[in-house]
Amino acid sequence: MSSEIKVYRMAVCLYPGVTMLDFQGPVDILCSFGRKHRKSLASLFTTLPDVAIEEEYLSHNTEPVTPFTGAQIIPTMTYEQGLQTDFGIILVPGGPKEPKEIPPAIFEFLKKKSPETEYVLSVCTGSWVLAAAGVLNGKRATTNKALYKIVTEDTKDLNITWVPKARWVVNDDKHIWTASGVTAGMDLAYAFLVHLVGEKFADEMKGIVEFRTVKDSEEDEFATYHGLV
């Protein structure tokens, strides 16, 4: 590992009713080798990459965010503050609420920051939020298959190519990555980690976290389960 580490600051976009596993699964995979964790993890890896991802939790204010289930989360900054901050990655989780029920500050943040941020990731209906912000125009994307018909009907007038059978979808320029429902976020996180630092380290991280990842983005049993294919 060289002394120079490229640090990606990742904006985790929160709102009331967000699904915790949508973001916390990917955060555990992507942020466990941040600078503050490196000494404690060094012995578990063959080598550490010259990249680190460090998360910020954003919300419309600094009050604790109550997710759909689980403990409250304390934001580290507001979306207004986030507009003045440089991020390398944006992560948008989903939840049972429709975009119109979510505080509007997130949409202003996504509209402004997504084009200038190197990577934009979403999990579950986080892609619905991206669509509502205009970020997915002209893009391919997927979403939670249980809500697929609702999401695609709501966005039918937008120029989005929704993919019914996909665990995750990556656009050709690698800018926007969208995952299917909830646990698919961890599969996306693994694939994103392979893209960012290579398969060897990603596999070591997978072994430490002990999860079975889907490596083929088109391997999607839930598309069949929900009658989409």
Identify the CA nearest to 184 among candidates 97, 126, 99.
Answer: 126
Report residue 218: phi and psi, to 5°: -90, 0
- Cα distance between residue 163 and residue 160, in whole Å: 9
- Cα distance between residue 14 and residue 60, in whole Å: 8
Catalytic: which of 18, 27, 92, 124? Answer: 124
Adjacent-strand bridge partners of 219: none
- Cα distance between residue 35 and residue 220, in whole Å: 35
Q: Are strands 89-92 and 176-179 parallel, antiparallel or unpaired?
A: unpaired
Known catalytic residue at 124: yes
Catalytic residues: 124
